[in-house]
């Protein structure tokens, strides 16, 4: 299933100087997105170092042919949905062609160089129209730590190790990195109060997640079997599932989170493709002794052998005071995508097992991917133990939950001996006061 | 807020003979939809009696002007989203213009008549691209009856009378009336079993709901206040929120229903507009003594005075055996939209109170609208008391839950002294065996 080719060669360099050794976007990554240069119209692009390659201009310049040209044609509008619908073949051909154009040895540099924009001069948009957004709950350390706050002796519910638990989120409020977050208003009931009150959330939180971009998808009524599921994973992004814990606690019974989550979801705007991630796929970590074997519809040898991703994840916090004093961001958490109890393929297969249809450009969140221990907490709910023990910052400030002016930044990086490291770019947003 | 005009005149008749006295679509209704005549491309239409008026052809024929023309222009594509975005003014102008064209007294009959299609020759599509679908839980008899199955002494959770409880559903699997339903597969755990199994759902159910079509909607971060909320209700439809109770019971903790619901949602394909429904808006029934007053953000005098809808609702069942024997449908339940504990305006305002954005063409389900008593059960879960006491049919058949070959039909009718009755058309689907 995993195909490595010369686009993954760690010795490959680009004539785009900033790409060589770039923490996120060396020539081995080539993520796909939608960007607007200056005030111009949105279009498809490929990130390369500190620059963005205008894919439409590459197409119009006659620099592509065959499947790569077909892929770029599909991306000719202002979203990538039609490209995602094509699946891995054309996407891989496009990757190969763009890699050739940007490689140090390219004979076409003079024709390609005018089609680059400085990334700092561009606005990044969502890469696709998200038809539906689903959020899972596959981070087992998160599920366990949060469960302990409510059920100290029995943190995980009986279904957790059988069912990749998920729920539907809100597609309309997903925003790319950089769009500020407005603190939501909502109903909450304080423990000591008789009745709820309405006002700004006082327990605003982040959640460290990955987003899975859906490729071709399926027709209604036709499930995607586990052995085919990886073909429907087009790529990944970082995802911050902002959460208002006070609203959540009051509203979530019996139908789950609603207004506590749907006021905003921030994602990194680049689709890091399944092809770019191929070197970083590894075996699913073994289930702890005594855990049940997944049911047959969720079991596949290839998925067990290479269905997990080794992606280092990080959360950084900058407060208004830290910015004023010129301090660097405070690391809130470090984790890794290996702490997912279910693979992305298992999420896709479970989601469609009842016939539910996924469409190209749908987004699946993993749920909070916490690591073990205090420095792995993928949310402040976990880090502050339900708001009881605040985080202390270098400025002397404390945080039970997020304050106005705080900026949360998620980072993701893949490293493996023998391969060039790649990253996801930024997933950041600053919190503005409630209206 | 409620404006009645000559389009509501009960004495108004149409030169389309089948419209006069039509149970659903007299000239006082004029619902909007998307239809395909024969094998032709989908387009906007207006139901009138047993016919459909081709709105695009009316526009192209130069039969509209002013705001009505602008509204029809917005509906020129294959969905009504842009028309819904315009809000009530242009929609009302279009209604007035179409009413004039179809009225007995119209001088333009000879130009309009060629633009009609027999409804039985047409396919009905979804009227809009549904960006997000949210399902509420405002039927208090349903919430109480279902709650009793789990908590006999305390059926309603403490938040119910403060929060219009809702959750996100799946937009991709909403289908218009007539599309068969494939019985879903899924995980379930029988009470006596140690572990779950995967297979066809054995507790397949319907849910009797109304759907609210969202009009203009709001920008992210800008709530819709309760006094403005009615302006965002473009119209209503019938909605069957198919549910697999066995899957639901096993999966729904802690994040709510997911695969138990997202395999299909069937709606009646016509948008019965807010204008057509104006005569049937009445005061919210008073809350039972002792119930809390809604919080101020959900309270509005006009909404209390005329925010509820008097819509009679009905569920009918036909089994394969009943069809084979030529028997008429069995009435499973009768209810009324008055059994909503929260109004549509309260649903809209609550949904956006945290800044969440609604977009034109979004769909909000009300949740199951059961009436009081056994013949008001809006789901078989209620009617069979959790599958314990089966329904008996004229054929001698029994139903704990739905069987393959069963067809469920929802109906909705508005009646008021001094006005022409109007209806919603059909919301039906037959159940096919699991794959």
Whether the Cβ atoms of residue A243 and residue A368 lie closer than 8 Å to each other: no
Place of tokens 């692009």: A45
Cα–Cα dist A370/A365, whole Å: 14
Cα–Cα dist A239/A177, whole Å: 9
The pLDDT of residue B153 is: 85
Cα–Cα dist A162/A146, whole Å: 19
Q: Which of B132, B257, B263 sits opposite A356 (nearest CB)?
A: B263
Query: What single DSSP character describes residue A39?
Result: T
CB within 8 Å of B344: residues ≥ 6 apart: B212, B229, B230, B233, B236, B307, B309, B364, B366
**A145-173 residues labelled b (16+ CB within 10 A) or e (exposed):** bbbbeeeeeeeeeebbbbbbbbbbbbbbb
Kindly tell me the burial class for residue B194, based on how many C-beta atoms sit within 10 Å of its own C-beta (0-12, 13-18, 19 or more).
exposed
User: Measuring CA to CA, which residue among A416, A225, A226 is closest to residue A304?
Assistant: A226
The residues of B that are catalytic are 142
Instruction: Give per-residue pLDDT as tens, A236-293.
Output: 999 999 999 999 999 999 999 999 999 999 999 999 999 999 999 999 999 999 999 9
Q: First vs last Cα of chain A: how many Å apart?
A: 50
The pLDDT of residue A212 is: 98
Give how far B112 is from chain A: nearest CA, Å: 37
Residue A252 annotated as binding site: yes
Cα–Cα dist B318/B329, whole Å: 5
Radius of gyration of chain B (CA): 21
User: Measuring CA to CA, which residue among A226, A208, A394, A241 is closest to residue A312?
Assistant: A208
What are residue A198's DSSP bridge partners?
A: A187
Tell me the pLDDT of chain B averaged across its residues.
97
CB distance from A85 to chain B under 8 Å? no
User: Measuring CA to CA, which residue among A284, A130, A124, A140 is closest to residue A212?
Assistant: A130
> Among the residues of A205-264, which ranges form H helices?
245-251
The pLDDT of residue A152 is: 86
- Residue B144: both structure tokens together: 């109480």
Whether the Cβ atoms of residue B271 and residue B33 lie closer than 8 Å to each other: yes
The pLDDT of residue A1 is: 52
Kindly tell me the burial class for residue A272, based on how many C-beta atoms sit within 10 Å of its own C-beta (0-12, 13-18, 19 or more).
buried
The pLDDT of residue A39 is: 82
Nearest 5°: the CA angle A57, A59, A63 is: 105
Spell out the SS3 assignment of A75-107: CCCCCCHHHHHHCHHHHHHHHHHHHHHHECCCC
The pLDDT of residue B2 is: 66
Whether the Cβ atoms of residue B102 and residue B127 lie closer than 8 Å to each other: no
- Residue B23: both structure tokens together: 């149970």
User: Measuring CA to CA, which residue among B346, B90, B136 is closest to residue B224?
Assistant: B346
Q: What are phi and psi of B231, to 5 degrees?
A: -65, -15
The pLDDT of residue A150 is: 80
- Residue B42: both structure tokens together: 């989908």
Cα–Cα dist B113/B150, whole Å: 57
Cα–Cα dist B258/B243, whole Å: 10
Confidence of residue B151 (pLDDT cuts 50, 70, 90): confident
Helix (H, G, I), strand (E, B) or coil at B204: strand
Place of tokens 């081709």: B54
Cα–Cα dist B21/B422, whole Å: 9
CB contact under 8 A, A220 and B173: yes
Q: Which of A132, A167, A197 sits opposite B255 (nearest CB)?
A: A167
Kindly tell me the burial class for residue B135, based on how many C-beta atoms sit within 10 Å of its own C-beta (0-12, 13-18, 19 or more).
buried
Taking residues B122-130, report their average pLDDT: 98
Set of chain A residues whose Cβ sits within 8 Å of the Cβ of B245: none
CA distances from A205 to A79, A240, A241, A409, B157 (A): 30, 10, 9, 13, 25
CB distance from A92 to chain B under 8 Å? no
CB distance from B221 to chain A under 8 Å? yes
Kindly tell me the burial class for residue B325, based on how many C-beta atoms sit within 10 Å of its own C-beta (0-12, 13-18, 19 or more).
exposed
* Ordered domains of chain B (ranges, CATH): 6-125 (2.30.30.230), 133-432 (3.90.850.10)
Q: How many beta-carbon contacts under 8 Å exist across A and B?
A: 193
Return binding residues of B.
135, 137, 151, 207, 209, 241, 248, 252, 261, 265, 368
Q: Which of B166, B221, B251 sits opposite A163 (nearest CB)?
A: B251
Interface test with B, best of A354, A367, A429 (most B CBs within 10 A): A354
CB distance from B194 to chain A under 8 Å? no
The pLDDT of residue B150 is: 80
Per-residue pLDDT at B1 exceeds 60 = no
Instruction: Give per-residue pLDDT as tens, B303-353.
Output: 999 999 999 999 999 999 999 999 999 999 999 999 999 999 999 999 999
Give how far A309 is from chain B: nearest CA, Å: 25
Helix (H, G, I), strand (E, B) or coil at B320: helix
Whether the Cβ atoms of residue A43 and residue A55 lie closer than 8 Å to each other: yes
Q: Which of B185, B253, B355 sits opposite A354 (nearest CB)?
A: B185
The pLDDT of residue B99 is: 98
**A8-26 residues labelled b (16+ CB within 10 A) or e (exposed):** beeebbbbbeebeebebbb
The pLDDT of residue A77 is: 96
Instruction: Give per-residue pLDDT as tens, B47-97.
Output: 999 999 999 999 999 999 999 999 999 999 999 999 999 999 999 999 999
CB distance from B67 to chain A under 8 Å? no
Question: CA of B156: which chain A residue's CA is closest?
Answer: A254
Regions of chain A where pLDDT drops below 50: none
Cα–Cα dist A147/B219, whole Å: 35
Cα–Cα dist B58/B104, whole Å: 17
User: Measuring CA to CA, which residue among A57, A229, A61, A245 is closest to residue A146?
Assistant: A245
- Residue B338: both structure tokens together: 């008055």
Residues within 8 A of A (CB atoms), B 21-40 only: none
Instruction: Give per-residue pLDDT as tens, B180-213.
Output: 999 999 999 998 999 999 999 999 999 999 999 9
CA distances from A313 to A275, B186, B271 (A): 20, 33, 47
Question: CA of B355: which chain A residue's CA is closest?
Answer: A263
Per-residue pLDDT at B102 exceeds 90 = yes
The pLDDT of residue B3 is: 78
CB distance from A291 to chain B under 8 Å? no
Catalytic choice (A8, A22, A141, A142): A142
Query: What single DSSP character describes residue A342?
Result: S
Residues within 8 A of A (CB atoms), B 342-401 only: 350-351, 353-359, 362
Q: What are phi and psi of B327, to 5 degrees?
A: -85, 150
Confidence of residue B125 (pLDDT cuts 50, 70, 90): very high
Set of chain A residues whose Cβ sits within 8 Å of the Cβ of B157: 253-254
Strands B174-176 and B166-168: unpaired
CA distances from A390 to A335, A398, A402, A433 (A): 20, 6, 11, 21
Q: Which of A251, A259, A354 sits opposite B186 (nearest CB)?
A: A354
Instruction: Give per-residue pLDDT as tens, B346-386.
Output: 999 999 999 999 999 999 999 999 999 889 999 999 999 99
């Amino acid at each position: 299933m995993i195909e490595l080719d010369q686009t993954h060669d760690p010795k490959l360099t680009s004539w785009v100087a900033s790409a060589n050794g770039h923490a996120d976007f060396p020539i081995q990554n080539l993520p796909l997105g939608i960007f607007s240069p200056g005030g111009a119209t949105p279009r498809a692009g490929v990130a390369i170092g500190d620059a963005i390659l205008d894919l439409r201009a590459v197409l119009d310049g006659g620099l592509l042919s065959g499947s790569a040209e077909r892929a770029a044609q599909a991306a000719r509008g202002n979203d990538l949905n039609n490209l995602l619908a094509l699946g891995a073949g054309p996407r891989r051909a496009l990757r190969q062609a763009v890699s050739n154009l940007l490689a140090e040895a390219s004979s076409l540099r003079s024709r390609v160089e005018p089609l680059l924009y400085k990334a700092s001069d561009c606005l990044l948009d969502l890469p696709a129209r998200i038809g539906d957004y689903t959020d899972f709950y596959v981070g087992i350390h998160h599920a366990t730590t949060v469960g302990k706050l409510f059920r100290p002796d029995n943190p995980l519910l009986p279904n957790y190790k059988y069912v990749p638990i998920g729920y539907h989120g809100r597609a309309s409020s997903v925003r790319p990195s950089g769009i500020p977050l407005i603190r939501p208003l909502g109903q909450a009931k304080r423990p000591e109060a008789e009745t709820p009150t309405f006002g700004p959330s006082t327990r605003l939180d982040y959640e460290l997640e990955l987003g899975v971009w859906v490729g071709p998808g399926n027709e209604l009524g036709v499930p995607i079997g586990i052995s085919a599921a990886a073909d429907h994973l087009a790529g990944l992004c970082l995802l911050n599932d902002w959460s208002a814990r006070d609203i959540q606690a009051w509203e979530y019974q019996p139908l789950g989170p609603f207004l506590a989550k749907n006021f905003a979801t921030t994602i990194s705007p680049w689709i890091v493709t399944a092809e770019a991630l191929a070197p970083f796929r590894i075996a699913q970590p073994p289930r702890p002794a005594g855990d049940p074997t997944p049911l047959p519809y969720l079991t596949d040898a290839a998925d067990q052998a290479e269905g997990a991703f080794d992606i280092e994840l990080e959360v950084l916090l900058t407060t208004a005071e830290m910015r004023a004093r010129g301090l660097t961001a405070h690391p809130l958490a470090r984790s890794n995508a290996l702490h997912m109890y279910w693979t992305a393929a298992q999420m896709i297969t479970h989601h469609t097992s009842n016939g539910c249809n996924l469409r190209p450009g749908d987004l699946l969140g993993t749920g909070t991917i916490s690591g073990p221990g205090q420095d792995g907490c993928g949310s402040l709910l976990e880090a502050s133990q339900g708001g009881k023990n605040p985080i202390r910052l270098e400025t002397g400030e404390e945080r039970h939950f997020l304050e106005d002016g705080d900026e949360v930044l998620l980072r993701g990086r893949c490293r493996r001996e023998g391969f060039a490291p790649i990253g996801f770019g930024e997933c950041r947003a600053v919190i503005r006061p409630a209206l």
